[in-house]
Amino acid sequence: MPLHCGTAKKEITPQIGTNLAGYMKERKAAGIHDPLYTRVFVFSNENDLFIMINLDLVGIDSHYVKLLTNRIWENFSIPKHHVFVHATHTHSGPGGIFDESSLLATAHPYLNGYLPYTKSIVDHQHNQILAAIDYALKNLEICEVKFGEGVAEGIATNRNNLEASYDHKVSVITFTNKQGEKAIMYHFACHPTILNANNVYISADFPGEVSKVLEERSDVNCAMFINGPSADISTRFTRKASTFQEVERIGGKLAQKVIQTSESATAIERPIVRAALYPITLQMRDIPDEKTIKQELKNLQAICSEKQDKVSVGELRRIASQIEGANCLLQIVKNVKKVNDITTVIQLFRIKHIVFVGIPGEFYFESGEEIATYFDFPLLFAGNTNDQIGYIVPKKYWEKRDYEAYTTLLAPESEDKIKQAVREYLYLFANEGECKDG
């Protein structure tokens, strides 16, 4: 049976005056620079339905996903393990998304825009997602599927170390109907943080610009961004300013690379879709002594003052991020009591031999790269998927005290445990012949 695909997008822009989420600064939206969307791809093969949902939000927690997948089941009888829910991680979208049960939002209130859980915001988003699914289901069409990979240099780097491994890869999947209309799914790893904490306008940041450029083409009806393992990847050293003009420049540059990659993509014969969810339980970090962290913060501030006129702007940004991280850790000390376990999920969602690995937090680029060396089929890691448990920091970086190590809620062994679990699940798929090309 040929693969059928339907797509849709619906606006989820909050009201002006809504608190924006993502930075340690309370910000009320003064206006709308560009609308926020949910984009939905629905796939039908062998009498099964599968959904990929992307949201222009800083993140989503397990409560958000549970409410949404329950409604999807009630309305469309599609089971939760067939539903992939992904946040782009823009830092210029609404707060109020995370439930009071979210350990991450309790630890870091700025991720919720310093708002309590706001049911009206979440209900509106869920209503729009369901409307998009309904439209996509009613417009399923046989499609030709193609996959391509390219290199998009000059967009992003490792934000802590310019010498660290990063391959600048952009992966593109196109779904083309008989009329020649395309839906594009593009995967790239980078924090959408061109716009900084001083921005007070609602925006999807650079992924919104990329999708806008693509969707303005006459042959493209929907363009969905899937953010890769970008915990330590950003535009810190590549952006020239934190302006909307810079969003357009970088977004336009990536859009052109997506177009080029799509034009050289190769067809996938007999595409099928499969998906599975796997629970995983992780340990929480030990909560440090407040006095120790205050001293570290004082030392970092002294270093920043000393190097103010002696190092590059990028290096100053890195030190400033360490100071921000130390402040975040103070919030953890004040806001969070030690819990024994953090239970979440990992998802595998495959289109023929291409496997999306849904990670419920912010995964390091090198963590995904290490797993990929064990397999001979494309692995597209997607952070901020189905839950948000924060930074998943490799053990070796704990002593370096970068922003991510300061702010993580997870014990140092967590990254190794996730890598091992993902490998085991992927081996299961491969051994069953699920991921073989052709």
Task: Return the structure tokens found at 430.
Answer: 């491969």
C-alpha distances out from residue 234 to 33, 148, 155, 189, Å: 21, 23, 8, 8
Spatial separation of the C-alpha atoms in residues 281 and 348, rounded to whole Å: 17
191 annotated as a binding-site residue = yes
Provide the residue type at 259 as one letter. Answer: I
Give phi and psi for 375, each to the nearest 5: -130, 150
Spatial separation of the C-alpha atoms in residues 28 and 5, rounded to whole Å: 38
Spatial separation of the C-alpha atoms in residues 219 and 152, rounded to whole Å: 22
- The angle formed by the CA atoms of residues 303, 307 and 309, to the nearest 5 degrees, is 155
Q: Residues 357, 275: contact at Cβ < 8 Å?
A: no
Chain centroid, CA 320 distance in Å: 23
Spatial separation of the C-alpha atoms in residues 435 and 225, rounded to whole Å: 23
Task: Return the structure tokens found at 38.
Answer: 């949910």
List, as residue ranges, the binding site.
Answer: 89, 191
Binding residues for Zn(2+): 89, 191
